Each structure stands twice: as C-alpha cells, then as structure tokens.
Amino acid sequence: MNATPRWLNPEQQAAWDGFIRMQEKLIGRLSRRVQADSRMSPADYIVLAKLTEAGGRMRFMDLTKLVEWEKSRMSHQVARMAKRGLVAKEECPDDGRGSFIVATPAGREAIEEAAPVHVEHVRRLFIDALTQEELDTLARISNRVLAHLEKQPD
C-alpha cells in the first residue's frame, strides 16, 4: 500500500457510491424475492444455481472459490442444504481430503421452480432499466474489472 492514501475525487466517489448503492439495493430486493417466492434462502439459490450451471456437481473448493465465500461459510451452507435434501456431499475418489457437492433431485426441482421467477425479477429490476447499448457497456466494464481483480492479491 502507498504511504499516502490516493483519495477518490468527487466524480470517482460518486461512481463508487452509486455502484455500491445499486448493488446493495439489487441484491437486497432479489434476495427478499427469492425467499418470498421459493422455499430457499438466497444462499441456497446461489449454490444451486452454480451447481446447475456446472452440470449439477462441483468440487467443494471450486464451488467455494466460485462464489467467493470462506470455506467455513460454504461448509455450514452445504450442511444446512444437505439436511433439507437439496444437496449431497460425495467423496472425491482421487483426493481423500476433497469432496464433491451434488444437487439432488429435490435441489434440481427447487432451482427449476425458482429460476424463472428470479430471472423475471432480474429483468424487471435491472435489465429493463437499461438500453442494449448500456448493457453492452456494462458488460465490457464488468469484464474489465473482473480481469483486473484476477491480477490483484486478496
């Protein structure tokens, strides 16, 4: 870190504040909708969505890294979901310490029921507010920041 802070100028601060407020409002509203519309918590939805995108099965540590959670948080989340029959944990045959997290039929059913409603909320709250040109610009900005983050230490 630099000895002297590189403070944000007013335009940078406004951009950062707007991004944070938008992100918090979107996540808050979408999280409340997931809970109201399904039998899942927002964390359940995230885990099942990522598992489904990966074909229904992922190594525990890969899933943990993908959602940017701490190992302990993922362990507790998987345990809660396993108790409710949404996921199962399988041992990894080529790594005695590793495991796979697998979406169960009940988990697949839950995400298949919740996803269309969730996508409609995403569309209504976010997509419909922007033009296609703005969405394209946002995608480029997001990809640039994500690539930059990959190069930075935690």
CATH of the domain at 118: 1.10.10.10
Q: State both tokens at 110.
A: 């839950």
Q: Is residue 42 part of a domain?
A: yes
For the chain, the domain total comes to 1
Q: Is the pLDDT of residue 96 over 90?
A: no
Q: What is the mean pLDDT of residues 119-127?
A: 97
Q: Is residue 2 part of a domain?
A: no
> Can you tell me the distance from the alpha carbon of 103 to that of 116, in angstroms, rounded to the nearest whole number?
18
Phi then psi for 112, rounded to 5 degrees?
-65, -35
Q: Would the CA dihedral through 25, 18, 129, 126 be positive or negative?
A: negative
pTM of the complete model: 0.87
Q: Is residue 111 part of a domain?
A: yes
User: How far is CA 19 from its chain centroid?
Assistant: 17
pLDDT confidence of residue 58: 96
Q: Is residue 68 part of a domain?
A: yes
Q: Is residue 140 part of a domain?
A: yes
Q: Is residue 16 part of a domain?
A: no
Kindly give the pairing relationship between strand 87-92 and strand 57-59: unpaired
Q: Is residue 15 part of a domain?
A: no
Q: Is residue 120 part of a domain?
A: yes
Q: Which domain holds residue 41?
A: 28-151
Judged by average pLDDT, the poorest of 48-57, 91-100, 104-113, 115-124 is 91-100
